[in-house]
């Protein structure tokens, strides 16, 4: 007869088994901690979290779902085939853990939560019954739920309270891992931003950086990079490009308050909490902003800009998000980006000026030599009437040499003026009329003006007249002699829709010529590119692109309906009508 098992022996056995399981769990957790300090890839670390949960709880399945806007997305799963599936927070049991910010535990989930339960795991033959869901939160003083750790079993009442406590520990580790990965990515962003600065990339490069920043946030966001220009902030780059170049007043805007106080500002209901709020994103995309977070960009002396994040959801941001964004803002490269881009354009323009001077020297030497030899030949031609046609032809050659000489000096003067950064109060409408009258001499080409007559004289670079001359000359050259031509010249003063102050000068020059082949349009502003069939010379347009970049502007081209090309030059202005970039440049008025 077997010896009877006493109750105390059974209790001791259960305690021993539970103690062993706790030790196993601690070993798994410590091993994960060691891996976190080794900073492996986040995906590998979170997969290990799930394997640890399975080992400790003997669960059938485990998942990590991360929050994205109003949905939860399965990012890691022991099943594997469900990765990428999304569920509305308001319509699933995991979403209830997000909204309550607490654990959800059920021994028979289909019985306890029939309206919210969704058969994500298991099958008809082996349906899931027990489920433990624990929120994953960011480890800061004001935590935000960034996802959930979901564990399921086909057994009834599969999870004991102490097992749920262990699951909560794994969820805490997952939150720490995501936190560590985000911090590391912030530093990677700072390093990448530094590379962009040294390469002096354009707004596209900044926009790509902002898109990378946007994935750090649990909500669907738009991120903007704004720089201070006098009394306004200008959106230099945005993940919603339609908002770029919009200006807002520092004295009366959400981001302006960040400049005035020098402190980050967070609002999870910005419409109600900030009467001065202006929805630049909603006005352009139709997606109304409800939460907003903005942090200052500082130098040693002042706040020079803002990084701003907007979400269409209420309660989108936390103190943790503020910390992450502030770290990015203090990467100390945002202002350097603008200065480096401007300085590189200036250096390129100076190099163009030097090249033009050398070219003029070579041309003038050759022309003068040819001119002297020509005079010697001209003196040898007899004066008899029979040589009249020869003397006439020589006269044409002499005239051509003189024009080459004058044109070379004119080119040199143009680039010299641009490099020396002269500036003056300029009536751009009058300059446009003068240049058109001087350049367009063909009677079969009609010049049409659409000039903003309310625009007063602006403080512009002196070389703006050369810019207009280049564009009008290109338009004229693009029109074949066999076609009646039309050139449209348009000027417009762009006023900020939120500030009602000067924002930019736009100049349009359009023709009805042959147009530019699509395959050449992408490289139109590169050095040496030319399309002689249309008459648009790559060197001049390359120089124009440098010119506008020096003043933080842009020049674009697009085909006209029915043939031809339209060039649009945009030159940003300060509220007092001074071209942006001139405030740091010498010159005479």
Two structure tokens written together for 42:
């986040």
In 3D space, the residue among 74, 72, 91 whose CA is nearest the CA of residue 82 turns out to be 74
Residue 1 maps to a domain: no
Does 425 share its domain with 412?
Answer: no
Residue 239 CB coordination number (10 Å): 21
30 and 121 part of one domain: yes
Residue-by-residue pLDDT tens, the chain, 589 positions = 455 555 555 555 555 555 565 556 555 555 555 444 444 467 777 888 888 888 878 888 899 998 776 788 898 898 878 888 888 888 889 999 988 889 999 999 888 988 887 776 655 667 888 999 999 987 766 677 888 999 998 899 988 888 888 888 888 878 877 776 666 666 566 556 655 544 545 567 778 778 877 877 766 789 998 888 778 888 888 988 888 888 888 988 999 999 999 999 999 899 999 887 888 887 776 778 999 999 998 876 788 889 999 998 888 887 768 877 887 776 545 555 555 555 555 555 555 555 555 555 555 556 666 667 767 777 777 888 777 888 788 777 777 777 766 766 666 666 565 555 566 788 999 999 999 998 998 889 999 999 998 888 888 887 788 889 889 988 998 898 888 999 999 999 988 877 788 888 999 999 999 888 877 777 777 655 554 444 444 456 777 787 787 787 888 888 888 788 999 999 888 888 888 777 544 443 4
Residues 392 and 440 both lie in one domain: no
Last residue of a domain, one of 366, 382, 417: 417
Residue 239: give its domain's CATH number.
3.30.450.40
| Domain identity same for 287 and 361 | no
Helices (H), ranges, 58-160: 93-100, 109-112
> Which of 176, 191, 213 marks a domain boundary?
176
Q: Are residues 261 and 385 in the same domain?
A: no
* 105 and 231 fall within a common domain: no
On whether residue 186 sits in a domain, the answer given is no
Range of the domain at 159: 7-176
**What per-residue confidence (pLDDT) applies to 103?**
92
HSE value, Cβ hemisphere, 13 Å, CA-based, for 151: 31
Tell how far CA 289 is from the center of its chain: 19
Task: Tell me if 97 is assigned to some domain.
Answer: yes
| 132 and 88 in a common domain | yes
Is residue 194 situated within a structural domain? no
User: Residue 489 has what pLDDT?
Assistant: 95
Residue 388 is assigned to a structural domain of this protein: yes
Same domain, 20 and 165: yes
- The predicted pLDDT at position 190 comes to 59
Whether residue 193 is contained in a domain is answered as: no
CA distances from 503 to 336, 340, 491, 572 (A): 22, 23, 14, 6
Domain-embedded: residue 183:
no
Task: Give yes or no: residues 144 and 268 share one domain.
Answer: no
The last residue of one of the domains, among 417, 451, 467, is 417
439 and 412 inside one domain: no
Same domain for 55 and 169? yes
Q: Flag whether the pTM goes above 0.75.
A: no
Q: What is the pLDDT of residue 545?
A: 80
Provide long-range contacts, Cβ within 8 A and 24+ apart, for 253-262.
253/277, 253/278, 253/498, 254/278, 254/292, 254/294, 254/308, 255/226, 255/294, 255/306, 255/308, 258/294, 258/295, 258/296, 258/303, 258/306, 259/228, 259/233, 259/296, 259/303, 259/306, 262/296, 262/298, 262/303
User: What is the enclosing helix (H) or strand (E) of 538?
Assistant: helix 538-550
Q: Same domain, yes or no, for 98 and 157?
A: yes
Q: Which residues pair with 224 in a beta bridge?
A: 238, 308
Q: How many domains does the chain divide into? A: 4
Q: Is 184 contained in some domain?
A: no
Q: Which H/E stretch holds residue 181?
A: helix 161-199
Pairing between strand 445-450 and 485-495?
Answer: parallel
Kindly report the CATH number assigned to the domain that includes residue 588. Answer: 3.30.565.10
Q: Are 454 and 492 in contact (CB under 8 A)?
A: no
């Amino acid at each position: 007869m077997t010896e009877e098992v006493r109750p105390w022996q059974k209790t001791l056995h259960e305690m021993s088994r539970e103690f062993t399981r706790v030790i196993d769990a601690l070993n798994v957790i410590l091993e994960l901690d060691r891996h976190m300090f080794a900073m492996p890839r986040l995906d590998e670390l979170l997969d290990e979290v799930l394997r640890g949960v399975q080992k400790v709880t003997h669960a059938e399945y485990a998942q990590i779902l991360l929050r994205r806007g109003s949905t939860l997305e399965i990012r890691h799963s022991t099943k594997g085939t469900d990765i990428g599936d999304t569920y509305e927070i308001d319509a699933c049991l995991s979403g209830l853990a997000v909204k309550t910010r607490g654990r959800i535990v059920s021994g028979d989930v289909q019985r306890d939560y029939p309206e919210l339960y969704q058969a994500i795991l298991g099958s008809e033959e082996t349906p899931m019954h027990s489920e433990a869901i624990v929120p994953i939160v960011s480890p800061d003083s004001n935590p935000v739920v960034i996802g959930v750790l979901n564990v399921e079993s086909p057994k009834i009442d599969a999870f004991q309270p102490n097992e749920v406590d262990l699951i909560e520990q794994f969820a805490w580790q997952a939150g720490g891992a995501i936190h560590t990965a985000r911090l590391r990515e912030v530093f990677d962003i700072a390093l990448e931003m530094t590379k962009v600065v040294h390469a002096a990339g354009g707004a596209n490069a900044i926009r790509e950086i902002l898109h990378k920043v946007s994935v750090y946030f649990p909500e669907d966001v738009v991120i903007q990079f704004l720089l201070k220009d006098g009394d306004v902030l200008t959106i230099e780059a945005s993940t919603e490009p339609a908002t770029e170049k919009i200006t807002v007043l520092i004295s009366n805007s959400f981001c302006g308050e960040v400049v005035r106080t020098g402190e980050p500002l967070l609002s999870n209901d910005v419409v109600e909490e900030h009467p001065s709020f202006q929805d630049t994103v909603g006005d352009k995309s139709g997606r109304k902003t409800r939460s907003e977070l903005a942090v200052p960009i500082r130098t040693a002396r002042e706040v020079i800009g803002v990084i701003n994040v907007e979400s269409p959801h209420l309660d989108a941001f936390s103190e943790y998000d503020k910390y992450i964004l502030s770290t990015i803002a203090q990467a100390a490269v945002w202002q350097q980006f603008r200065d480096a881009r401007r300085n590189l354009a200036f250096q390129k323009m100076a190099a163009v000026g030097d090249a033009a001077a050398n070219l003029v020297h070579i041309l003038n030497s050759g022309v003068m030599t040819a001119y002297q030899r020509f005079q010697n030949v001209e003196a040898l031609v007899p004066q008899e009437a029979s040589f009249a046609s020869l003397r006439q032809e020589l006269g044409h050659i002499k005239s051509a040499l003189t024009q080459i000489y004058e044109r070379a000096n004119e080119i040199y003067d143009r680039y010299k003026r641009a490099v020396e950064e002269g500036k003056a109060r300029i009536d751009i409408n009058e300059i446009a009329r003068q240049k058109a009258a001087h350049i367009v001499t063909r009677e079969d080409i009609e010049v049409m003006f659409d000039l903003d007559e309310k625009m007063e004289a602006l403080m512009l670079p002196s070389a703006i007249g050369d810019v207009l001359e280049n564009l009008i000359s290109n338009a004229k050259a693009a029109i074949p002699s066999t076609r009646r031509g039309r050139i449209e010249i348009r000027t417009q003063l762009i006023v900020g829709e939120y500030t009602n102050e000067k924002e930019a000068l736009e100049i349009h020059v359009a023709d009805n010529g042959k147009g530019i082949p699509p395959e050449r349009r992408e490289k139109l502003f590169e050095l040496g590119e030319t399309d002689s069939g249309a008459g648009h010379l790559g060197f001049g347009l390359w120089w124009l692109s440098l010119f506008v970049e020096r003043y933080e502007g842009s020049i674009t081209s697009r085909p006209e309906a029915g043939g031809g090309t339209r060039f649009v030059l945009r030159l940003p202005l300060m509220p007092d009508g001074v071209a942006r970039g001139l405030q740091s440049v010498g010159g005479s008025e």
